[in-house]
Amino acid sequence: MTFLKTMAVAAVMTLATGSVMAQEASKLQEVLDRGYLVLGTGSTNPPWHFMDSDNQLKGFDVDMGRLVAKALFGDPDKIEYVQQSGDARIPNLVTDKVDMSCQFMTVTAERAQQVEFTIPYYREGVGLLLMANGDFADYAALKAAGDDVTVAVLQNVYAEEMVHSALPDAEVDQYDSVDLMYQALNSGRADAAATDQSALRWFMVQNPDRYKDAGYAWNPQSYSCAVKPGDQRWLNFVNTVLHEGMTGVEFPFYAASFKTWFGEELDVPKIGFPVEYK
Amino acid sequence: MNFSLFLAELWNARMSLINGLGNTVLISVVSVLLGSILGVFIGLVMTYGGWFTRFSVRLYIDFLRGTPVFVLILACFYILSVVGFDLSAFQAGVLALTLFCSSHVGEIVRGALIAIPKGQTEAAKSIGLTFGQTFIYVLLPQALRQILPTWVNTATEIVKASTLLSIIGVVELLLATQQVISRTYLSLEFYFFAGFVYFLLNFVIEQAGRAVERRISVP
């Protein structure tokens, strides 16, 4: 009897929650009615989100937002950008300042308690950038030098831990922005800059022969867009758009963007059995 | 430092930097104007109000002056939107700077007013001036001479504090500069340039203040 009662209560509660959810207006409808997407992203971190010389926001994060706008309105330009600092990503979502944020946001369990992450659209790793004519040849030389090495890194809660997992004895200097970090490397204040593989590759392409990659990458992390928690319909929609960008009808859009910012030509997803279940 | 490269990039970025400068000036002018109007009112209440209003306004002033501008800006942007006032980043930033400015101007005005000997108010009363007339014709002209130098200081503080609006995404001169740096990686050059522009801006304000001071000084 008790068991049956429990089941009945559970069933009623499920139904009640379900109908409440259905009645609540989804962000999806709100955005469609409004006619443009409000995208939170930064403006100072190429190749993810930055102002080009025509003062237009560009980058891979921006392209992910454009992909969603294209899916919503058939027009990737129907976006109002909210330029936010990294610290503002979660507060701006929670206070409804933006519909979604795509701002090289590392998926962590702590953040997932405050916002809801979409499926990842990029897998980032960390590499070490060296001056081509610097004192250290490669990763082995850096590691051998122990605490004689100073590593510049972008400010982050996990920055110190992250560098030490590759170079346990190195001094770690944290910087506020990517350009200051490169400046530290240029001026010799740091011997290496620990930075994302994506940024590293983009920077080396822009400054040929000046820098080299130490040849070691570690610290995998997923980049996802994020939405305010509690709106499954909107989350599902964004997930579907990103998923089809990476595997389906919008693959050419995603692949063209990937080529532009990371210089890599992606293979077309294998036709036939869906790649994600391999 | 590659000077010709910097000049070329500066020329490329001129429009976004000018827009940023325009925003900085707009934010500063609006905040200082609104803050001063509110501040004069606060100063009057502090000087002539009853004990209860004086006490509440004292709390307001001490709270605002004891809080970092940075925290004020975040509070205006996030806390207000939780309560239901959905301000844009620009409006929230201007509001924060206005409040900050008003608390400083309030103290300046109060100080200037109580520095005027009580005998003058009594004299004005004795020749039959109303409070409004006393204030406008007797107290204010004298108080203004006291207020001006510190008020100019507050204005330059507000110009500098406007850089903090970059945190909530208002593209003023500093954020515009950072955007250019993120594209060009010329951080020292552009930060130096932005610093120089801020200096020029404040230099102009201070010189203008001095000029007015000279004009209104009692010979």
Q: Chain B contact for A178, CB < 8 A?
A: yes
* Residues A16 and A87 reside in one and the same domain: yes
Q: Chain B contact for A183, CB < 8 A?
A: yes
Work out whether the CA dihedral B192, B196, B202, B207 comes out positive or negative: positive
Could you read off the pLDDT tens digit of each residue along chain A, which spans 278 residues? Answer: 455 555 554 554 444 444 444 446 899 999 999 999 999 999 988 889 999 888 899 999 999 999 999 999 999 999 999 999 888 899 999 999 999 999 999 999 999 999 999 999 999 999 999 999 888 989 999 999 988 999 999 888 888 999 999 999 999 999 987 778 888 999 999 999 998 888 888 888 788 788 988 989 898 999 999 999 999 999 999 999 999 999 999 999 999 999 888 878 899 999 999 988 87
**A–B: how many Cβ contacts below 8 A?**
65
pLDDT tens per residue across span B137-174: 999 888 988 899 999 999 999 999 999 999 888 999 99
Task: Count other Cβ atoms within 10 Å, centred on residue B22.
Answer: 13
Q: Which of residues 63-102 of A touch B (CB under 8 A)?
A: 82-85, 87-88, 91, 95-97
Cis peptide bond N-terminal to A229, omega within 30: no
Tell me, what CATH number does A48's domain have?
3.40.190.10
* Residues A81 and A128 reside in one and the same domain: no
* Residues A109 and A148 reside in one and the same domain: no
pLDDT tops 90 at residue B28: yes
Phi, psi dihedrals of residue A120, rounded to the nearest 5°: -70, 145
A83 closest CB neighbour out of B13, B86, B171:
B171
- For chain B, the domains span 3-216
**What are residue A79's DSSP bridge partners?**
A37
Rounded Cα gap, residues A212 and A138, in angstroms? 9
Nearest CA in chain A to B180: A51
* Residues A147 and A246 reside in one and the same domain: no
How many domains does chain A contain in total?
2
Q: Do the Cβ atoms of A83 and B12 come within 8 Å?
A: no
Q: Do the Cβ atoms of A95 and B81 come within 8 Å?
A: yes
pLDDT at B76: 92
pLDDT at A196: 85
Rounded Cα gap, residues B120 and B108, in angstroms? 20
Question: pTM for this one?
Answer: 0.79
A85 vs B contacts (CB less than 8 Å) = 166-169
* Residues A107 and A244 reside in one and the same domain: yes
Q: In this structure, are residues B163 and B173 in contact, taking their beta carbons and an 8 Å threshold?
A: yes
Nearest CA in chain B to A98: B88
CATH of B3-216, one of 3.10.105.10, 1.10.10.10, 1.10.3720.10, 3.40.50.2000: 1.10.3720.10
pLDDT at A5: 53
Nearest CA in chain A to B84: A95
pLDDT at A131: 93
* Residues A217 and A248 reside in one and the same domain: no
Q: Chain B contact for A180, CB < 8 A?
A: yes
* Residues A27 and A157 reside in one and the same domain: no
What is the average pLDDT score of chain B?
A: 92
B183 vs A contacts (CB less than 8 Å) = 46, 50-53
Rounded Cα gap, residues A195 and A192, in angstroms? 9
pLDDT at A3: 52
Give ipTM to 2 decimals.
Answer: 0.78
* Residues A56 and A147 reside in one and the same domain: no
| Most A CBs within 10 Å, among B9, B15, B80, B185, to test the A interface | B185
B169 closest CB neighbour out of A50, A85, A96:
A85
pLDDT at A6: 52
pLDDT tens per residue across span B166-209: 988 899 999 999 999 888 888 888 999 999 999 999 999 999 99
pLDDT at B82: 82
A177 closest CB neighbour out of B16, B81, B182:
B182
A85 closest CB neighbour out of B78, B82, B167:
B167
A84 vs B contacts (CB less than 8 Å) = 168-169
First and final C-alpha spacing in chain A: 46
**What proportion of chain B, given as a percentage, has pLDDT over 70?**
100
B187 closest CB neighbour out of A45, A88, A180:
A180
Q: What is the mean pLDDT of residues B28-36?
A: 96
Provide the domain limits for residue A210.
124-221
pLDDT at A24: 61
Rounded Cα gap, residues B205 and A244, in angstroms? 56
* Residues A102 and A234 reside in one and the same domain: yes
Rounded Cα gap, residues B188 and A131, in angstroms? 19
